[in-house]
Amino acid sequence: MGQTKDGSTSSPQERRRVWDKERLKTEAKEWGQSLVIALILTLVIRTYVIQAFKIPSGSMRPTLMEGDKLFVNKFIYRFQPPKRGDIIVFKYPVDRKKDFIKRLTAFEGETVEIRDGKIYVDGSVLDDPETFGRFYYYNHEPYGGPDEKIAVPKGSYYVLGDNSANSTDSRFWGFIPKKYLLGKAIFRWWPPRRMGKL
């Protein structure tokens, strides 16, 4: 028989119960610490590195379909500037609680014109068959009406949806401040049959 702290004896069963209790407390503490670390890492990754994004509408059809799930690279633009044609995620200027996804079309200081279904930037047509050359673009006021040349202000971007007939984009609400840019859509991971790099 063993002795407890107050000098009384304890049975092997009692010592086993005490040992099990201490072991459970130690394991619970270790699990708790691991969960906290995992949560912190998840928040850091989601905030600064990669974020999952689900396509809510048909504004980017056929490039992106409703329900598509993407990974958005949130750090790439810290190391390189955005490029024309990038599919970008940004805070919606009208309601910054919402995230939008569109195609980056023009930069500060450039002039945009929509004419005969094509996009012209500083007078040159954007006809890349992998991006702008694939789609027909419709005029819409106040920032893309017929015979209208839109100047992109300093510190801003002009964006368009690939599904021009069904996209609320810069033609409707204007420009995106650079500070609202969140990242670049890089990979579609759902649905599996259309999985791949964007």
Note the pLDDT of residue 41: 52
The catalytic site residues sit at 59, 102
Higher pLDDT, 166 or 42: 166
Low-confidence winner among 40-49, 95-104, 132-141, 145-154 (lowest mean pLDDT): 40-49
On whether both 105 and 12 belong to a single domain, the answer is: no
Strand-pair partners of 190: 69
**139 shares a domain with 44:** no
Sorted by sequence, the CB contacts under 8 Å of residue 185 that are 6+ apart come out as: 53, 64, 70, 71, 72, 73, 87, 88, 89, 101, 198
CB 134 within 8 A of CB 111: no
Question: 41 and 85 in one domain?
Answer: no
Q: How many domains does the chain have?
A: 2
**By residue range, what is the domain housing residue 6?**
2-48
- Greatest mean pLDDT among 45-49, 51-55, 59-63: 59-63
pLDDT confidence band for 42 (50 / 70 / 90):
low
Instruction: Indicate whether 115 and 44 sit together in one domain.
Output: no
pLDDT for residue 43: 55
Within-domain flag for 68: no
pLDDT surpasses 60 at 176:
yes
The enclosing domain of 97 has a CATH number of 2.10.109.10
Q: To the nearest whole number, what is the mean pLDDT of the chain?
A: 88
